[in-house]
Chain A
């Protein structure tokens, strides 16, 4: 069974029991780009986990106890410890589990990955705003702003002369920024990488990564979800 095919839990649902020893639980939503970061890390590091889907338009009452911001993703371990905020969950997994390390050991290289993440930081909200905009003019302005942000990332790849943002193999920074790029095609924003050839090559290389391809959502599924999500009272 695909881990992704369970229905989401909403208002009135029963709260979850304790997380079994040896497992970690992620509260997620199938199409959420923030939760996807954490799911990529879970998959890449080979961590045993279970997924609980949350209906974000009809949140279960018990979910507010898991995260005061009541957002996904949230991790819960078998000691009942809760971790939220996507970047914090990813870093926690890398530190707490002894499998494949995604963050570099070298303090400077680790800091570099965090600085790239800062450079990327405006992208998710620009993409989110573009999704919600009804206005053609606003849409054009957002596309231009997105192109500008992508140019900054292009410069990083040009300076580093490597395929990935962390070097010659995929690492944490690539996984945490990937979800925004995965959605460009479905949102008809592919033209925003037309002027950034290195970034385009990076996207192609990411699609070849086994972890990324295991979690890819089809364009039609994504578009179907978006249509329903944007309807008032949808989903």
Chain B
């Protein structure tokens, strides 16, 4: 069973107690791509953690003490330290925990991964807009064209580098930071946006072979179920697929 297969906490719920020593807690939501980034890093580095899922349409009052605007993901340590913004959380985990390093050691290579992330920065918004447009039966030709352009930029990088992954021949932080949106292309109905980018498609296939990505891969029918309920404004959407 996945570590994050727990029911969400909503308004009126009791706040969870302090985080036990030796663990880190992530406030999350099973279908959120930003939280997905941080969960990938937790898994890749084998960090012992507990997941508290938040009902994003019915946030617990106590959750605003964890994040001023109630966003996810948020990390909470056993010393009550709170870290948020998905990229800051991922970097924190890489710095704070020993073992496998996901960011390169070389300062220039680290900077390169961060510059790549900048190149990607329009993708989350565009994929969300495409999803909403499609679900609401609206036209999204322009949005898809814009997304294709962003993917072309990423394709150029892979072609220029001539490597499988964005960080080189092995998977690294940048690949995990980009992955969640590519995992969602199919279920969002916009897989055709990579029809013109063969290197990116190869990267997607290679990513699906990664043990960490595999371990967290979301079942398509469960994701569809979540999306159906979400767009019907059903507050139980976030718990879809749990026993």
The segment from B4-12, B87-95, B136-144, B218-226 that touches chain A is B87-95
Tell me the bound Cα distance from A89 to B115 in angstroms.
Answer: 10
Most buried by A among B85, B111, B114: B111
Task: Kindly list chain A residues whose C-beta atoms are within 8 Å of the C-beta of B108.
Answer: 77, 79, 81, 83, 92, 96
Establish whether residues A88 and B83, one from each chain, have CB atoms under 8 Å apart when the complex forms.
Answer: no
Establish whether residues B81 and A108, one from each chain, have CB atoms under 8 Å apart when the complex forms.
Answer: yes
B110 CB within 8 Å of chain A: yes
Tell me the bound Cα distance from A89 to B108 in angstroms.
Answer: 10
Task: Kindly list chain A residues whose C-beta atoms are within 8 Å of the C-beta of B91.
Answer: 110-111, 114
Establish whether residues B88 and A88, one from each chain, have CB atoms under 8 Å apart when the complex forms.
Answer: no
Task: Kindly list chain B residues whose C-beta atoms are within 8 Å of the C-beta of A77.
Answer: 108
Which of B88, B95, B111, B114 is the one whose CB lies under 8 Å from A115?
A: B88
Total interface residues on B, CB under 8 Å, equals 18
Tell me the bound Cα distance from A108 to B85 in angstroms.
Answer: 13
Q: Does more than half of chain B's interface fall in helix, strand or loop, or is it mixed?
A: helix
Residues 1-48 of B at the A interface (beta carbon under 8 Å): none
Establish whether residues A108 and B83, one from each chain, have CB atoms under 8 Å apart when the complex forms.
Answer: yes
Closest to B85 in A: A118
Task: Kindly list chain A residues whose C-beta atoms are within 8 Å of the C-beta of B85.
Answer: 114-115, 118
Task: Kindly list chain B residues whose C-beta atoms are within 8 Å of the C-beta of A81.
Answer: 108
A91 CB within 8 Å of chain B: yes
Chain A contacts to B: CB under 8 angstroms? 77, 79, 81, 83-85, 88-89, 91-92, 95-96, 107-108, 110-111, 114-115, 118
10 more contacts with CB within 8 A, not counting A83-B111, A107-B96, are A88-B111, A89-B111, A92-B107, A96-B108, A108-B83, A108-B96, A110-B91, A115-B84, A115-B85, A118-B85
26 contacts between A and B (CB under 8 A): A77-B108, A79-B108, A83-B108, A83-B111, A83-B115, A84-B115, A85-B118, A88-B111, A88-B115, A88-B118, A89-B111, A91-B114, A92-B107, A92-B108, A92-B111, A96-B108, A107-B95, A108-B77, A108-B92, A110-B91, A110-B95, A111-B95, A114-B85, A114-B88, A115-B84, A118-B88
